[in-house]
Structure 1
Amino acid sequence: MSITNTSSIESKQIIALVGFDDTAIAIFKTLNFNGRELALYGNGIELVSAWQNQQLPICAVICNSEIMAPSGLALVEALKNKGLPPVPFLLIVNHLNRNLVKLALASGVADVFRLPLISENIEVRVNFLIENWSSLRGSLQNTTPKLKKIETSKRIFDLVFAGGALLMLSPLFLIIYLWIRLESKGPAFYYSLRVGTGYRVFRFYKFRSMYVNADQRVKDLQHLNQYNIDSGNEPKETETAAHQFLCDACQSYGKCQYPLYADKVSWCEKDFRYSKQNAAGSAFFKIKNDPRITKVGKFIRNTSIDELPQLWNVIIGDMSIVGNRPLPLYEAEKLTTDKYVLRFSAPAGITGLWQVEKRGKGEMSEDERLMLDNTYAQNHSFKNDIKLILRTIPALLQKEDV
């Protein structure tokens, strides 16, 4: 099996491979795809760009990605939004369960395979899907929860509130922007991927509060790790700090599958999350006055100013002022059961029911929070949103933080 050079348009049908390493590519080369060529892409962005610009005769897409990762359901949605021809889309994943399979198939994925690859199964399945795709397409219908229509009054309120807030806060935005750029190299804003209404993945904007090379700085600061100092352990030179922070879903890849993005740089969201735990006394990696966080970063985190760019998400329709908080990909992929899927039928929002209920009432379990999300999804309306906003004002005066 040969590899297509996508710099020129080929007359043969092309099977696009996205995100595979050399070992997997070597396996694909040994398979018989009935004369179809293979084209390699590092990520979904490269695939979409080449497909659009070169009008490639792609007949199938196979991605090495977790279902909720950027090259999973998010890429399926991106291909639909770009108007590219509908072709079989297959995923090769590390983690799989019945609920994730149901979610993937309902979202338009033709099939999902779990690593390690069984080459014979891939060969037979891909050829079958390509050759019978016209008759199979009708059985692949999106069955995500029915979304309750957002009231016109709610949308108008969102636009007026967010637009007015952005206008009034524009001087503050300018000051924070200049402060971030002057203190450290890198962009002032970044985005991470979040899952909102109907499991739609979107870009979730914030002000940058860490150095862009924060994950590399962790390795350099291992000798200051209070956990190692207290236990008498020396940090291992052979194991990078970034790898230590990887979750189970990323270990096999050797790199974070859920990065933060800003312009042409990216850094690990896992590292970002662990840095937030330092103040709470995380024993895994604890450094007093963590130098990975910038001075302005400490200020905007403590005052929640880093969250203000989410007002732009409201303006463009990704979120609402009131709704269920959008979740990181690695959290949303755990909530695909009938018990929790209802929460994703409601608008994603900056503040919501569980944030108000938690104030001043001590710890709230994850299950309680998710049940409140479901309650909001069942009952949300503009009238109830106004009530929640009025309850949010006194709730902000409580001592306990959300």
Structure 2
Amino acid sequence: MARALCANCKTERAVIKRPKNHAKLCKGCFIQVFEDEVHHTITSSQLFHPGEKIAIGASGGKDSTVLASVLKTLNERHGYGLELVLLSIDEGIKGYRDDSLETVRRNAVQYDMPLKIVGYDELYGWTMDQVVETIGKKGNCTYCGVFRRQALDRGAKMLGIKHVVTGHNADDVAETVLMNLLRGDLARLSRSTSIVTGDSRSEVKRSKPLKYSYEKEIVLYAHHKKLDYFSTECIYSPEAFRGSARALVKQLERVRPTAILDIVRSGEDAARLVPGEEPSSCACLGQKAAAGVVVDDDVGGCGSQSGRTPGGEMAAMDKQLRDNEAHEGLEIDVTKTMAKGAVARGEKRDVPIRTGNASKGAPRQVLGNCKRCGYMSSQEICQACMLLEGLNKNRAKIQI
């Protein structure tokens, strides 16, 4: 049986079945489509401006390696005018991070980019090996996550850079959406689904150019481009909760390939429920982007239905409102009915109802600076300093 032809060029044989939509593509078309979709995300979301200096959070893994490669390619192809720098964090994990940093050093040469490495021991006086030796493997990911986030910002400040890009992909975002929905944490859900975090109050902002890229397609891109990346997982156990969310996302993807992007889009919609928060998603309406490129509305890189909503939303909403008014007289207030029944039986019962306005009375956090380290924080003492305080107390006890 003859092999199928590429669905894009119609001439070459298809060698790749895209995990995102099961389209059969040849190698060249897959690489082109992947890069076009990332370009679409960048331009439609206006992530960069010409002349901006960007730090790429580089771990040596597939995501950050593909991100560095794609940004270099798109920067040259479309004239973004960006100055790209690799920024790596050395957590101090022997047999894992020391090996992956060798990959990053090779990438710096391959992509002709400057490289800055910042270590936990330099910033905090602790390595992750020492942290795990002190507290054990349970909960160590919390320490590493807090330290790493602060370390990236501090490393960027050392370089005089105010914008860091990370390799978070659609799978990562979908996992985080599920975790925060299960926690009932809408505020964190809003931040996690945003393609850009940080505002005018922040010293360093972050963005996720690969937000709508599937993890499997990132691996395929790295394979067919023959990129040099480090594939070994961290030797310390990952967080159990995220691991469960990851397993669920993978199961849903097997049943429904669009499930990952559907979860991401649902998370973006849910984030709009947070009072005072602005929605952050790809704007696929062909506007001029900051890099001076008109967004191609036909590139479906940012979600289901080719990155666009089906249209007619306002008409549908207007009809829904009219229907609601027509049926208003038929509605029954369940809480009042239950209360009347309880009174008739001589009972007194309070029914706790969680409404959508429950969070409106909560004061918004005010961003300031940690009194100890000066890092931006909504508390007097940042989370990293609080964790370090506990570690230093444990060290003092051991020494005694």
Task: Tell me, yes or no, whether TM beats 0.5.
Answer: no
Larger radius of gyration: 2
Normalised by the size of structure 2, how large is the TM-score? 0.29
TM-score normalized by the length of structure 1: 0.29
